[in-house]
Structure 1
Amino acid sequence: MPVHEGPAHEGSTRKGTRPYDAVIVGGGHNGLVAAAYLARAGQSVLVLERLGNTGGAAVSTRPFAGIDARLSRYSYLVSLLPRKIVRDLDLDFRVRGRTISSYTPVERDGRPTGLLVGGGERRTREAFARLTGSDREYESWQRFYDMTGRVAQRVFPTLTEPLPTREALRARVDDEDAWRTLFEEPIGVAVEERFTDDLVRGVVLTDALIGTFADAHDPSLPQNRCFLYHVIGGGTGAWDVPVGGMGALTDALATAARNAGAVLATGHEVLRIETDGRSAEITYRTAEGEGTVGARHVLVNASPQELAALTGDEPPTPAEGAQLKVNMLLTRLPALRDSSVDPREAFAGTFHIAEGYEQLAAAYAQAAAGALPGAPPSEIYCHSLTDPTILGPGLVERGFQTLTLFGLHTPARLFAHDNDAVREELLKSTLAQLDAHLAEPITDCLASDADGRPCIEAKTPLDLEHGLRLPGGNIFHRELSWPYAEEGTGRWGVETRHPNILLCGAGAVRGGGVSGVPGHNAAMAVLEDADAAATGREPRP
């Protein structure tokens, strides 16, 4: 919703007025985290947001006409958000755990079956034994995830601290086998050495491929960095459901920022930033025309490409996104071909589709060669099974459910010649892969909106680029970084070549996902600088 307070009333660069301590470009969740921290510390803060609402990609919307269903439109699960941020900012925000981790259907010996992970140790062990014929794969699974759990406990707390050096983080992990597995060798090596079943291998590998277009054995290790962030969240690696949808988080953050005194100005598109390293002037555009505002610090909650465009710097090489995001509203959950599993359990966790190890490799090879995967891999979950509050009471009473699908290995380049046609083709083939494991077509279960249209929407990387300005549709803004200091990363991983301009979005070091970590770290960098200025000390490098 538009904000009534405009930037000209207090922080304008008009003669005789005082600049803001901090202007934040972009009102996504990281920008709101930074705004709340800085305003609570007594700084004057202005957030300039291009769109008509704050929240960025972490929003809830009612995408289907006349239907009371508030869906997490883009980002949809929470793992990397530290409880520290929730506590520090007194956020009215909760998450719920999922009792089922995942279900992966497959056909073996001519019959439908699958692997259900969750519901207790005994049940999971039995599911592995039914699929593979022995306990060995389950025991390997336990050893592997015990190892990632230990790494998570040691690495996750560092995300809201100044960047450790590589050697300091290695010492903190204190497990050379784990360090080699996650930080030095392609994750495909560990998957193939530790697991023998193709389906189990695929389930493990998927965490390395969410939003990342890479082969399991890519020597540059983008898949390892993606895997690491997917298994360290909260110190456990658990992916939880935001109660009320993802918009509940950004609504709580916006409230916290406003209550602390920050000004949130929507419908304000920033055009350029000029700085001498000590103070900055930000030019923005609204429906009424252009304006300027001054600031001591500028925090950019946008991609590194957008930052370069605003400052006139050379843009970094973009890394394209590679995902299909689909939202659906169903009148009922579909029945499964594997009748031994209740659909309410299968869809409550992550429902893996065409994500066997060899299927993932084939899909990557086909997409790298310029073609859509013949069997597009994807995964689905049902938010409303864990949190029915996103649905109106009437829909809950009638048994309606939501489905969120996230497709892999579909890089932006595949959509360049005709985004609409390729989107339609990919959606059709993706749903066909799902239908192969259902006792009824998913389209038979789709609800209809007030205009009689099926309740389904799909977003390609190019749709995300056009709507949210994600470069190449990359949900991480660029390739994920290691969570340790490298040359040029600075103390907090948010610094740029301009001393008073910081990057507080997903493209910062330790960015990506719904975490608030870059927003927190940029705010800490500003407060350290302010403290140094107040005491006459040199800012820390």
Structure 2
Amino acid sequence: MDYDAVIVGGGHNGLVAAAYLARAGRSVLVLERRAEIGGAAVSFRAFPGVDVRLSRYSYLVSLLPKRIMTELGLGVQLRRRRMSSYTPVGDTGLLVDTGDGERTSASFRAVTGSTKDYAAWQRFYASAARVAKATFDSLTEPLPTRAELRERIGDDEAWGTFFERPVGETLRELFDDDVVRGVVLTDGLIGTCASADDEELRQNRCLLYHLIGNGTGDWDVPVGGMGAVTDALADVARRAGAQLVTGAEVLGVTPDGEVRYRAGDAERVVVGGRVLANVSPRTLSRLLGEEPVEEPEGAQLKVNMVLRRLPRLRDAGVDPRDAFGGTFHVNESFAQLETAYREAAAGRIPAVPPCEIYCHSLTDPSILGPAERAAGVQTLTLFGLHMPARLFEADNDGARAEALRATLASLNSVLAEPIEGCLLLDGGGEPCVEAKTPLDLEVELGLPRGHIFHRDLSWPYGEGAAAGTWGVETGFERVLLCGAGAVRGGGVSG
């Protein structure tokens, strides 16, 4: 059977494409290997007997343009988090309260001994805001050249900070305090195992995408969890006439648009006027019968927890609801991040794994069942940095257990009580905690070696023949990338 478009993979990017194409009157078939639509953006009851719908993989929204949400009529509510972050430092901590500048300034003074770094913080994020406003709308336009984007930003100092110099140099110049430097650096290391001084600027590219979302850089909580986003996209696509098929594993793609897939025990063949690959470039190369051109590597440990209550803090001056309401940084000073990177690069699980946490249920209790909500249950989503796939390849199960033990010990080192004592027990009496390594994400989601961006993030511009294209083109006219591996792809972006 022929379709105007056959979309390989039912993650959020493919669903955005399906919704737009079907609403434009095109015939669309989406083929999803798993039993559910949504890819990494799903909500899931991970623990038996516990009515909590966790955002199991991806968990916040920033890069999804409001333009897409408006044009598709997505009825998804995104809630802003008032607290940006909290970082424990001994018996005190650095609290960034976006609604109270005086409180934030006082917190900087308590941790650093002055307001110098807070003033530098304000200058840095004002510069980031200028870059964000100038850059974000270009993501839904043809690729500008490097020179065109630089002119659009119109700030040579900001251009140098984000596009030319390793961010480590900037942070050492701007900030005196090592903790403050680290809090800024973490956004450059999400899913990216790199030094702050990496000459390839992978950390700069990662930082850029974490700061430009919708022109503000805000990371918002989707009410109902990430599954609410992909459920809404799937609903729009279906109502417009797209066919969404689950349990359909694509086996091969040809340059002329033929797609071979397996559903149940039967193999089928369809032809698309265009084939949209909502899979990694490496997977697309395999489906086309080509040799993969690169071997990307994911670098994170994802831990989901359900708690009876939030843990007590060593800092008695901060309510745990404030501390966990934003991003809770654990052992993420600049020096600690660099040490963990060196250990991981040497093939060792970091002795004190840096990680960051947030509590979805504080902002959106709708993910909790009635009994859980009444009992004061809370969720914690932990993202561990510098955990590359290579650390898990010899023994994934053993290394996962070791990494989880080290990560929980790292968390406990900044709390007033062990997190294990706060965990809810599931219906079988087991603690509600699960960990996902890069290799787990490869098996479950098809992410190449667990790389959450499919490959290293790209600069949001094109040079030479790429300028003026959309960054989705392949070597074949009828085959396009529509996943995270496209130029300007990565994150929940559509």
- Verify same fold: TM over 0.5: yes
Task: Decide whether the 8 Å contact of 1:155 with 1:173 is kept in 2.
Answer: yes
| SS of residue paired to 2:250 | strand
Match of 1:273 in 2: 253
Match of 1:170 in 2: 150
Choose from 500, 510, 517 the match for 2:478. Answer: 500
Q: Distance in 1 between matches of 2:83 and 2:220?
A: 11
Q: Distance in 2 between matches of 1:423 and 1:122?
A: 42
- The alignment status of 1:393 with 2:373, answered yes or no, reads no
**Counterpart residue identity of residue 40, structure 2:** A
- The alignment status of 1:512 with 2:490, answered yes or no, reads yes
Match of 2:279 in 1: 302
| SS of residue paired to 1:325 | strand
Measured against aligned partners, the alpha-carbon deviations of 1:90-111 in whole angstroms (never above 9, x if no partner) come to 111111010100000012xxxx
| SS of residue paired to 1:317 | coil
Question: What is the aligned residue count?
Answer: 492
Match of 1:90 in 2: 73
Match of 1:311 in 2: 288
**Counterpart residue identity of residue 127, structure 1:** S
Q: Distance in 2 between matches of 1:357 and 1:28?
A: 34
**Counterpart residue identity of residue 115, structure 1:** L
Task: Decide whether the 8 Å contact of 1:338 with 1:437 is kept in 2.
Answer: no
Choose from 398, 404, 408 the match for 2:385. Answer: 408
Task: Decide whether the 8 Å contact of 2:89 with 2:111 is kept in 1.
Answer: no
Match of 2:343 in 1: 366
- The alignment status of 1:216 with 2:196, answered yes or no, reads yes
Match of 1:113 in 2: 92
Q: Distance in 1 between matches of 2:266 and 2:213?
A: 43
Q: Distance in 2 between matches of 1:488 and 1:408?
A: 36
Task: Decide whether the 8 Å contact of 1:212 with 1:223 is kept in 2.
Answer: yes
Measured against aligned partners, the alpha-carbon deviations of 1:483-505 in whole angstroms (never above 9, x if no partner) come to 00135546000000000100000
Choose from 239, 259, 270 the match for 1:282. Answer: 259
Task: Decide whether the 8 Å contact of 2:353 with 2:385 is kept in 1.
Answer: yes
| SS of residue paired to 2:273 | strand
The sequence identity of aligned pairs, in percent, is 63
Q: CA deviation at 1:66?
A: 1.3
| SS of residue paired to 2:127 | helix
Choose from 66, 72, 78 the match for 2:61. Answer: 78
Measured against aligned partners, the alpha-carbon deviations of 1:306-357 in whole angstroms (never above 9, x if no partner) come to 1001111231212201100000000100111111111010000000001011
Match of 1:349 in 2: 326
Q: Distance in 1 between matches of 2:115 and 2:423?
A: 39
- The alignment status of 1:377 with 2:357, answered yes or no, reads no
Match of 2:184 in 1: 204
Choose from 454, 472, 475 the match for 2:431. Answer: 454
- The alignment status of 1:441 with 2:424, answered yes or no, reads no
| SS of residue paired to 2:387 | coil
Q: CA deviation at 1:401?
A: 0.1
Task: Decide whether the 8 Å contact of 2:311 with 2:422 is kept in 1.
Answer: yes
Matches within 5 A, 1:10-29: 12=1, 19-29=2-12
Q: Distance in 1 between matches of 2:403 and 2:121?
A: 32
Q: Distance in 2 between matches of 1:33 and 1:78?
A: 15
- The alignment status of 1:51 with 2:51, answered yes or no, reads no
Q: CA deviation at 1:475?
A: 0.2
- The alignment status of 1:41 with 2:17, answered yes or no, reads no
Measured against aligned partners, the alpha-carbon deviations of 1:200-225 in whole angstroms (never above 9, x if no partner) come to 00001000000000000000100000
Q: Distance in 2 between matches of 1:274 and 1:239?
A: 39
Task: Decide whether the 8 Å contact of 2:14 with 2:482 is kept in 1.
Answer: yes
Measured against aligned partners, the alpha-carbon deviations of 1:347-385 in whole angstroms (never above 9, x if no partner) come to 000000010110001000111111111110000000000
Q: CA deviation at 1:281?
A: 1.1
Q: Which runs of 5+ in 2 are unaligned?
A: none
Q: Distance in 2 between matches of 1:318 and 1:93?
A: 36
Q: CA deviation at 1:122?
A: 1.0
Give the stretch that moved more between structures: 173-182 or 267-276. 267-276
Computed over aligned residues only, the root mean square deviation of the Cα atoms, in angstroms, reads 0.9
Match of 1:425 in 2: 402
- The alignment status of 1:142 with 2:126, answered yes or no, reads no
Match of 1:235 in 2: 215
Task: Decide whether the 8 Å contact of 1:489 with 1:509 is kept in 2.
Answer: no
Matches within 5 A, 1:528-539: none
Match of 2:239 in 1: 259
**Counterpart residue identity of residue 315, structure 1:** P
TM, length-normalised to structure 1: 0.90
Q: Which runs of 5+ in 1 are unaligned?
A: 1-11, 13-18, 517-541
Choose from 45, 55, 60 the match for 2:43. Answer: 60
Runs of 4+ residues over 4 Å off in structure 1? none
Measured against aligned partners, the alpha-carbon deviations of 1:476-535 in whole angstroms (never above 9, x if no partner) come to 00000000013554600000000010000000001110111xxxxxxxxxxxxxxxxxxx
Task: Decide whether the 8 Å contact of 1:271 with 1:283 is kept in 2.
Answer: yes
TM, length-normalised to structure 2: 0.99
- The alignment status of 1:160 with 2:140, answered yes or no, reads yes
Q: Distance in 2 between matches of 1:214 and 1:274?
A: 36
Measured against aligned partners, the alpha-carbon deviations of 1:32-67 in whole angstroms (never above 9, x if no partner) come to 000000000110000011111110000000000011
Q: Distance in 2 between matches of 1:274 and 1:150?
A: 44
| SS of residue paired to 2:254 | strand
Q: Distance in 1 between matches of 2:255 and 2:357?
A: 45
Measured against aligned partners, the alpha-carbon deviations of 1:144-174 in whole angstroms (never above 9, x if no partner) come to 0000001101100111111111111000000
**Counterpart residue identity of residue 33, structure 2:** R
- The alignment status of 1:124 with 2:101, answered yes or no, reads no
Q: Distance in 2 between matches of 1:462 and 1:488?
A: 35
**Counterpart residue identity of residue 114, structure 1:** G
Give the stretch that moved more between structures: 472-481 or 287-296. 287-296
Task: Decide whether the 8 Å contact of 1:105 with 1:338 is kept in 2.
Answer: yes
Choose from 92, 97, 100 the match for 2:83. Answer: 100
